[in-house]
Amino acid sequence: MLIDTHAHLNDPALLPLAEEIAAARAERGPDVVVNVGYDLPSSVTAVELASRYAGFYAVVGIHPHDSKSATAEDYRALSELASDPKVRAYGEIGLDYHYDLSERETQRRVFAEQLELADSLRLPVVLHIREAHGDALKILKENRRYLNRGGIVHCYSGSKELIREYLAYDFCFSFGGAVTFKNFGKADVVLAVPRDKLLLETDCPYMTPVPYRGKTNMPEYIRFVRDKIQEWMPDADVETLTANNAKSIYGI
């Protein structure tokens, strides 16, 4: 079984193809697609897709890019969405210091607020952390009381050394198309992740793997991520172990 733990069929680039992608899962895979929200409208769409198609699940939340627009009403609406049985986590939330599309102080405040909200909803969290691991870990430490259900560091970009710090909060680590890039250079980081914490993702329509790099990413391209990691872990069944891990953290 192949599980794409982080996709965005709620993105305008892929939403018109959602029905076709769902219909082709049996032939082209993956078996399960988890669509992740990045603001309130995309979270609504993720839940609608999960309700419409078998094998689709949803994650709801506000991305750090959109922290500047987060309101108490958004939180109330997201809480209502989270009552849907196919919502399996809260996210993607966190910090993005690469683009800084929201002020950093705002990102930090909204990150902490959403950690508390996710805990009140009894959901694991999906983190987006880019060029901000130090501040992210500080916020996690300060909000340790709200980290009771683990979560996922999506598209993990940190070092081997930081893995242990995230493991203290029972996080999994997902990897996508970047592992296929010639300049990825982090096979040792992937191999440092405990096998029961390793996940696959596409982050489609972004981060398209080789050999389709430069084109729109699709859930079915998860197989290229699996195959690359399988090269680095010849003694493991990467598809099975990552599927089991995904089922565990998402309760699928």
Report the amino acid identity of residue 78.
L
**Homologous superfamily in CATH for domain 3-250:** Metal-dependent hydrolases (3.20.20.140)
Q: Are 206 and 188 in contact (CB under 8 A)?
A: no
Count of CB atoms situated within 10 Å of the CB of 234:
7
Write out pLDDT tens, residues 167-219.
999 999 999 999 999 999 899 999 999 999 999 999 999 999 999 999 999 99
pLDDT at 69: 97
Beta bridge partners of 198: 173
Distance CA 49, CA 58 (A): 8
> What pTM, to 2 d.p., does this model score?
0.98
Task: Supply the pLDDT for residue 15.
Answer: 98
Considering the chain, what percentage of its residues have pLDDT values greater than 90?
99
Residue pLDDT, tens place only, 146-163? 999 999 999 999 999 999
